[in-house]
Structure 1
């Protein structure tokens, strides 16, 4: 893997992990566009750990306060948020553990199917962004919100759905304000990314040593771009919501369809 490829894929992961555009779809589609070899699993570990660093650095004060309050004052506003994150993590972790390998094998080279999923979820994202009544702040969330948003993470296993996209959309459907839906999605991402990254790291620890240079480049690129993506999304949802990402999905799905037809 060249340095350019490592940087490019790291940037894709950093953007796709936090913007509602699906990092997994991008990491499958763009190497296909350019005719690159499939990246090693050890490199995917680096990308996920990079985005974990991004969210931990961006929200480190929130995490410290949430964890402390959760363990010492579980009935306080921040304390309840800690337990909501724990509850929301459980469904996604279970589905990921049992189904991730199956889904990945089914979707790995199904480019047309990924295009359909990208476009379909783009319509859902656009509709929900336009019609949802957003009144609930993150401090007014309840356990039902956490459970339903957590269950929605299971759909993120399918390339084209997007973990951040499905959790934010579910939050909007439940009445959360756009900023609240985005922030809760980011806060609850750390346990899932950590779990997935740790499992993959243990499985591919020997390959990491052999790919150390690419690993480091992908890690730092995804961390920096992921940090900027979080800031970008929090700012843009205040002004124009999520419609811009729906439009992007439509464009990318159309490009995939054209390339697929040309290569038939």
Structure 2
């Protein structure tokens, strides 16, 4: 892997990890368009570390009280401050752990077929548009109950299918449950912290199980670039979402899915 490939793949990963447009579809499409070799598992781990750092930094001011109050709530067995939202993140992460264990085989085989990725990009894009049009709105992420968190978490399991988009499907579920678009996005980003952490651990375990040479220079650049691009993406997306809505991302997904069907 050369420096240019590491840089541009990290930019794409950082941007698409949090936008509702599917990072996996882009990371498959870009190397094919440019004739690059597969970036490999080690690079995937590096850019996941970068995107995790970005979301942790963005929410740094609210994460400390969120974690503190959730731990205090567990000790006292009663709500404490921000613990309602903290428990929603915890409960919303459970289905992904179970789903990942049950669907590990298909996730590494049939779900990675190009046609599956393309149709998932299109189909879940249409579902996002329906949710944006039909969602009731009016609630923020602090109103999420455990039932709603479980539903959003169950929807997140579908992101095991490449092309679905983890952020896209969780925002879709949040919109259907009556969250405002920005609230659905913020909760999706909070859910990404355990999701990206678990994905990094899983891929890291796969990496250490094999003998893979690590190109530390390009991989370090990849992690740093992914962190910066992901942070800027989160900040810009939350600032613009109330004005632009989900329609531009739906249109983009439809075009991307069609392009994947033509090329792959």
When normalised by structure 2's length, the TM-score is: 0.92
What displacement does 1:77 show?
4.5
Q: Give the secondary-structure state (helix, strand or coil) at the position aligned to 1:188.
A: helix
Counterpart for residue 248 of structure 1: 252
What displacement does 1:101 show?
4.5
CA distance in 2, matches of 1:255, 1:234: 28
Tell me, which stretches of 5 or more residues in structure 2 are unaligned?
none
Partner deviation per Cα, 1:92-140 (whole Å, 9 max, x = no partner): 12212332353232243x3233222211111111121122110112222
Counterpart for residue 46 of structure 1: 46
- The count of aligned residue pairs is 259
What displacement does 1:150 show?
0.6
Report whether the alignment pairs 1:82 with 2:86: yes
Among 110, 115, 118, which residue is 1:112 paired with?
115
Counterpart for residue 263 of structure 2: 259
Verify the 8 A CA contact 1:208 1:215 in the aligned structure 2.
Answer: no
What displacement does 1:180 show?
0.9
Alignment of 1:1-264 (within 5 A): 1-73=1-73, 74-108=78-112, 110-205=113-208, 210-260=214-264
CA distance in 1, matches of 2:108, 2:35: 20
Q: Give the secondary-structure state (helix, strand or coil) at the position aligned to 1:55.
A: helix
Verify the 8 A CA contact 1:88 1:147 in the aligned structure 2.
Answer: yes
RMSD: 1.6
Verify the 8 A CA contact 1:104 1:158 in the aligned structure 2.
Answer: no
Partner deviation per Cα, 1:113-172 (whole Å, 9 max, x = no partner): 322221111111112112211011222221111110011111001111000000010000
What displacement does 1:208 show?
6.6
Structure 1's consecutive aligned runs of 4 or more residues displaced over 6 angstroms after TM superposition are none
Tell me, which stretches of 5 or more residues in structure 1 are unaligned?
none
Verify the 8 A CA contact 1:96 1:157 in the aligned structure 2.
Answer: yes
